[in-house]
Amino acid sequence: MTATRVALVALLIAVATRDAVSQATPRGATDAGAAGALGSGARYIPPPGRRPARFPVAWPFPAGRAPVVARRAMVVSDAPLASQAGVEVLRHGGNAVDAAVATAFALAVVYPEAGNIGGGGYMVIHLASGRNVAIDYREVAPLAATRDMYVGPDGKVTEASVVGPLASGVPGAVAGLTEALARHGALPLAEVMKPAIRLAEEGFVVDSALARRFGDYRDLLQKFGGGAVFVPNGEPLGPGARLTQPALARTLRTIATRGRAGFYEGPIAESWTRELAALGGIITLEDLRRYRAVWRQPIRATYRGHTLLTMPPSSSGGVTMIETLNILEGFRPLPPFGSTRWAHLLGSAFQRAFVDRNAKLGDPAFVNVPLKELTDKRYAASLRATIRAERATPTPAAPLREGTQTTHVSVADSKGNAVAMTTTINELFGSGIYLPSAGFFLNDEMDDFTSRPGVPNMFGLVQGEANAIQPGKRMLSAMSPTIVLDARGRVLLVAGSRGGPRIITSTTGVLLNVIDYRMTLADALSAPRLHHQALPDTLRIEENGVSAAVQDSLRAMGYGTSSGSIGQVNALMRVPGGFEGVADPRGSGRPVGY
Ligand code: DON
């Protein structure tokens, strides 16, 4: 080791120690909003090989932000208390899988807008042994679901796939989390669920971010049973209020004792399916009995000497990301970050990958997915050849509809294991249906299916036949939990996002920022993002994300442009001496490490 490197490692260790202390929040209290920081007075020195980034003047997130640094292990999630739950389990001898599961159950308590037991998700797992696995616990359509169940008598797509009792797929979260733990965890389920049960039973202090959500979603919460818990006496819980969830605590205790059967069978399943049926819902005990999480081989691909491990279908995330990166790999180097050509090449690559995504992908148990072809570098070369130097290419056909609430967790432990996990109930508070006896929200994931193939849906978007509704089928997802290994096969980066189709573009963007633009992790997440999903045929760029001159040039090239948020990434990266963790400055998450 060189002298500089020794000094750097020493600095990182010192920082890690201070940070571990600065992250200790009293039990049950949250302090959202204070994303990664070094603590007062410390100056962040980027790891070797990382270059300072520069963003447009009006861009709200400054470059040079400090990450949270930890020597041994790191958990990054959208809720500080949930990240702490993961670290608590790691400190008790758990591995990255234990920590991911603990964090997921804790998110179901402290982050009800997206954390869940009433939804589903995916985990990509890199084991210290070198083995890589993935688990798919995406929801499935209920047995009573029909292809046109969201088409009204007037032929128009209704709102029932988004809000209310018919919007939910059969939840997969509990099956997936318990199965992942049983196979790859080190601790018993009851131990791993302790923090979540404690948070539900003893309560926790609502922070300003959560309070704002309760306020914004007051009507939905009151409409379908969540009012008594989250909007008591007609007033949304405010910052500083203590939220206890006895019904959820009971459900979690039952799961901790009985495993998946505690949720999918017995009194809890009977009572919540009865409540749902009374509202007009169609998920039955038979649906629950049949539900299975599925182990899958992660997609393994290379990008500029790195190995990527990411989620195969039923998520479209991995395929679309790899197809995009394969197209971009042929441009060496990529144009300067933030330039017109940067926006043109990234936008064009995403556009092409999304054309395939929208038409060809679906649940592999129901449709034949051309996975090999779509992730083949020669195929990408043929798409690359269709990008014109100075002009936008109009999109030929069929897009997807967008959802808005999901949450991603990145975990790495001291033994070399890592987990990228994304979970969702789709939109904020899912379908809005809160089941009082069991204390959780049901998802509105049915909206990720094609409500009507070939016809624009209520958002003016169209999806393909491959993703049409069929009983027992998984609806296509965009979730993109991803692990990047360095040239020596060690975990370099763990990342993923929320944001519907923008999950794919925001996660890919962060990878490009780290690999091509050599940004620090914090800059990679702070950097302006762009998104193209084929249709609508517009290049979406975050507001003030590029200069006015670049905007003008893009319009002159034939791009329609729009602005708006693009994803919310939580990521960690290996650095000399440990890990950096960064929660997206667009959200209120927080990394915790030790
Ligand atoms: O699985 C999907 O692709 C969507 N249900 C994800 C929705 C989402 O990310 C909303 N989050 N902000």
Nearest CA to ligand 1 atom 11: 405
What distance in Å separates the CA atoms of residue 581 and residue 283, rounded to the nearest whole number? 39
Out of 320, 375, 395, 406, the active site residue is 406
What is the tens place of the pLDDT at every residue in 26-44? 333 333 333 334 444 467 8
Position in ligand 1 atom list of the atom nearest CA 478: 3
**Which class for 273: exposed (0-12), middle (13-18), buried (19 or more C-beta within 10 A)?**
buried
Give the pLDDT confidence score for residue 397 in this predicted structure: 63
Give the pLDDT mean for 206-228.
Answer: 96
**Rounded CA separation 525/493 (Å):** 12
pLDDT in tens, 227-248: 999 999 999 999 999 999 999 9
Kind and range of the H or E run holding 124: strand 120-126
Angle of helix 246-258 relative to helix 96-110, nearest 10 degrees? Answer: 150
Q: Could you give the 3-state DSSP secondary structure of residue 27? A: coil
533: Cα within 13 Å, side-chain hemisphere = 25
DSSP-assigned letters across all residues of 326-350: HHHHTSSSPPPTTSHHHHHHHHHHH
Over range 281-309, report the average pLDDT.
98
- Residue 538 designated active-site: no
Test site for ligand 1: of 426, 431, 502, most ligand atoms within 8 A of the Cβ: 426
Work out the mean pLDDT of the chain and round it to a whole number.
91
Measure 346 CA to ligand 1 centroid, in angstroms.
22
What are phi and psi for residue 582, nearest 5 degrees? -140, 130
Q: Among residues 73, 90, 145, which one has the least CA distance to residue 416?
A: 73
Residue bearing tokens 């029909």: 146
Ligand 1, atom 5: closest residue by C-alpha: 426
Interval 74-96 mean pLDDT: 98
pLDDT greater at residue 41 or residue 224: 224
Give residue 463's pLDDT: 64
Name residues contacting ligand 1 (CB within 6 A). Answer: 403-406, 424, 426, 445, 448, 477-479, 498-500, 503
Q: What is the DSSP string of 561-577?
A: EE-----EEEEEEEETT
CA of 507 to the centre of ligand 1 (A): 13
Beta strands in 499-544 (DSSP E): 530-531, 538-541
**pTM of the entire predicted model:** 0.93
- Closest-lying ligand 1 atom to the alpha carbon of residue 567: 12
Query: What Cα–Cα distance (Å) separates residue 218 from each residue in 83, 115, 215, 223?
Result: 27, 18, 5, 9
Higher pLDDT, 303 or 399: 303
Measured in Å, residue 65 CA sits from the centre of ligand 1 at: 27
Residue 428 CA to ligand 1 center (angstroms) comes to: 10
Q: Which two tokens stand for residue 363?
A: 């649940």
Point out the least confidently predicted range of 227-241, 426-440, 462-476.
Answer: 462-476
The minimum-distance atom of ligand 1 relative to the CA of 447 is: 5
Lowest mean pLDDT among 203-217, 444-458, 526-540: 444-458
- Contact indicator for 548, 58 with CB cutoff of 8 Å: no
- Choose among 407, 316, 530, 377: nearest CA to 119: 407
Say how many Å lie between the CA of residue 257 and the centre of ligand 1: 30
Scan for tokens 């959820």, then name that residue. 248
Query: Is residue 17 scored above 70 in pLDDT?
Result: no
Q: What is the 3-state secondary structure (H, E, C) of 52-71?
A: CCCCCCCCCCCCCCCCEEEC
The dihedral through the CA atoms of 248, 254, 257, 262 has a sign that is: negative
pLDDT at 19 over 60: no
Q: What is the pLDDT of residues 162-194, one digit of tens each?
A: 999 999 999 999 999 999 999 999 999 999 999
Using a 10 angstrom Cβ sphere, with 0-12 exposed, 13-18 middle and 19 or more buried, the burial of residue 9 is: middle
Q: Which atom of ligand 1 lies nearest, measured to the CA of 427? A: 10
Query: Closest Cα to atom 1, ligand 1: which residue?
Result: 477
Cα-to-centroid distance, 31 and ligand 1 (Å): 25
What is the tens place of the pLDDT at every residue in 339-391?
999 999 999 999 999 999 988 999 999 999 999 999 999 999 999 999 999 99
Q: Is residue 266 pLDDT above 60, yes or no?
A: yes
